[in-house]
Structure 1
């Protein structure tokens, strides 16, 4: 006997602002099985439909720099900076093997050292 769902799935009620990074899924392409239905984008513009009052977003697809307009927020999810930077924040800096760190952590560490190397005090003999 099939089980019935006990609760109703809820979608997050998120308000996005210009510059936010989001994951977007084009529902039509997804249900048709077409490629390229999901991508990471940056919110370019927030606007309200004149007749319905519903909020829509214009996104810039990061991999192609293509503008995608009139995006329904029901198919967007915020990509928090903490998730994107987790590999840097948790890098095992005490490890002797730099190979244990992710490429992003190594790149951040390298950039940080190059930028701040002029601020280091001179070595004493």
Structure 2
């Protein structure tokens, strides 16, 4: 019987820049099974470890504004703005049931109408 090739998921190398918003894990808390191991952070800087030559990142945790130094990029993932804004972009703004809209869509609608506009913008084709 021929041997089946083994596949392994490979995370592409991503270089983050100052201001990028990322999801990151506290490695020790994660592997020990402790709660609150995953957070959202903003990249403050990158640097190269003197001994290992590995690029590490310093982040500000957005929930607590704590500074996290030396975060391994293997435990970070980008949070693209398009993903964060998808609920607004796809909101059913012509829906009569406000409860059917996501909270972000309702916030956008309230903000737009509070600026003195009683009409919605024209729909995009």
* Same fold (TM > 0.5): yes
Quick one: distance in 2 between partners of 1:90 and 1:81?
Answer: 14
Which residue of structure 1 aligns with residue 85 of structure 2? 85
Q: 1:5 deviation in Å?
A: 7.3
Say if 1:34 and 1:111 are closer, same or farther in 2 by CA, change over 3 A. Answer: same
Query: How many Å separate the matches in 2 of 1:99 and 1:8?
Result: 43
Match of 1:98?
98
- In the alignment, structure 1 segments of 5+ residues that lack a partner are 121-125
Residue in structure 1 matched with residue 55 of structure 2 by the alignment: 55
The DSSP-based 3-state class of the residue aligned with 1:70 is strand
Number of residue-to-residue matches in the alignment: 115
Note the residue ranges of structure 2 that are not aligned, 5 or more in a row: 120-125
Tell me the equivalent position of 2:109.
109
Q: Distance in 2 between matches of 1:86 and 1:9?
A: 27
CA RMSD between the two structures = 1.9
Give me the TM-score of the superposition, normalised by structure 2: 0.82
TM-score, normalization by structure 1: 0.82
> What is the CA distance between 1:86 and its match in structure 2?
0.8
